[in-house]
Amino acid sequence: MPHSTPLHRTEPDTIDGIVTDLRELRSASGSPSYAELGRRVGELRVERGVRPAAAVPARSTVYNLFKAGRVRMDHALLRDIVLALGESGETADAWVERCRQAHRVGSPAPAPASPAPEPAATSSHTAFSLRQLPLGVTTAILLGCVLINALGLAAQRALSLQVFLDMIGTGLAAIALGPWYGVLVAVASQAADVRNLGNAAELPFLLVSTAGALVWGYGVRRWRLGTNLSRYLLLNLLVALTCTTIVTPILVILSAGTHGHLSDLFTGTLADSGVHLAAAVFGSNIIASVLDKLLSGLIMLALFVTLQRLVSVPVDHMPVVEQLAALSPRSATREAGVQTHRADASE
């Protein structure tokens, strides 16, 4: 891609001057997100033989390269960023040479305002903007999430499973698109449940799926529970606790603690042994809910990685998705191909 960045200046070069030109190059390349640039850099490094797990730089590392007032720059990362923005290897080398020759001046002239940071993972549900995905893609994802809920519920009923599997689509919409999209899927899923259509007694259970959607959605955005796998698993345990806490009084009030699930057997055993009904309902349901939310959470995470790969759903609020994408079989296959090519070349 032709560039308009001045690589040769008459005045002494500075790091701030390089940063300014780098911002202009990013803008001329369509202003890809810092997460997207990190993904591209990761692909370049994997092609050079770097392990996928270590290839993708952190989003904050990429963002900091575009900040003014720096003392130094990482030459290797600068070269990879320039390549990721579509420039040639020769041009990237010229950028690195500029960086080597640059020196920090004693009183640098006021630099242009630092680039506005992309929505932070911890800010709010506004971390995702619909403008980043076409309306048709968003609608297709939401419909797919409703279908996933229906299939999970059908499987649970047909096989009498210990887990529920009826909130996978709700959680996926919440972590991928936003908490209120998860609520929308929860409402649509309940409306689509033909077996209980028109049953007013089922309406209170909408509070359970709504609460789960909000905890999942805000958990990965405001509470940074999507930064790594361990924090994400903790988020799913928090969802299990929230859902169980809400469903317990509903079951006690509406159906004497039962809801046609295998956990009812354990509830009955606890109640017969003298445990208070509410405690028995909570105890039996928390076990089933923990198993369900951990399994559902892992399925959701796998589906999110697939969505990000297929339609580039933004993942700035959930770095664990980028980490897992870097470990995907496709990346591993590419790395193996590079290593095989190197071995053949050495022979």
Average pLDDT over residues 86-97: 90
Q: Which amino acid is at 38?
A: G
Cα 1 from Cα 87, distance rounded (Å): 6
Identity of the residue numbered 289: S
pTM for this prediction: 0.63
Q: Which two tokens stand for residue 227?
A: 């930064």
Nearest partner of 142 among 181, 104, 103, judged by Cα: 181
Mean pLDDT of 229-237: 96
Report percent pLDDT > 70 for the chain: 80
| Arithmetic mean of pLDDT over the chain | 81
Query: How far is Cα 212 from Cα 167, in angstroms, rounded to an integer?
Result: 8
CB-based burial label for 85 (10 Å; 0-12, 13-18, 19+): buried
Residue 26 one-letter amino acid: R
Q: Cβ distance 221 to 121 under 8 Å?
A: yes
Kindly tell me if the per-residue pLDDT of 317 is higher than 90. Answer: no
pLDDT (0 to 100) of residue 71: 76
Instruction: Give CATH 1.10.1760.20 domain extents, the chain.
Output: 125-334
Which tens digit of pLDDT belongs to each residue from 92-148?
899 888 888 884 443 344 445 555 454 444 333 333 444 467 899 999 999 999 999
pLDDT of residue 171: 97
Q: Which residue has the tokens 């940063």?
A: 19
Within 13 Å of residue 75, how many CA atoms lie on the same side as its CB? 9
Tokens 């995905």 appear where? 133
The CATH code belonging to domain 125-334 is 1.10.1760.20
Residue 2 has pLDDT above 80, yes or no: no
pLDDT in tens, 25-84: 988 888 888 888 888 988 998 888 888 877 888 877 888 888 887 777 888 888 999 999
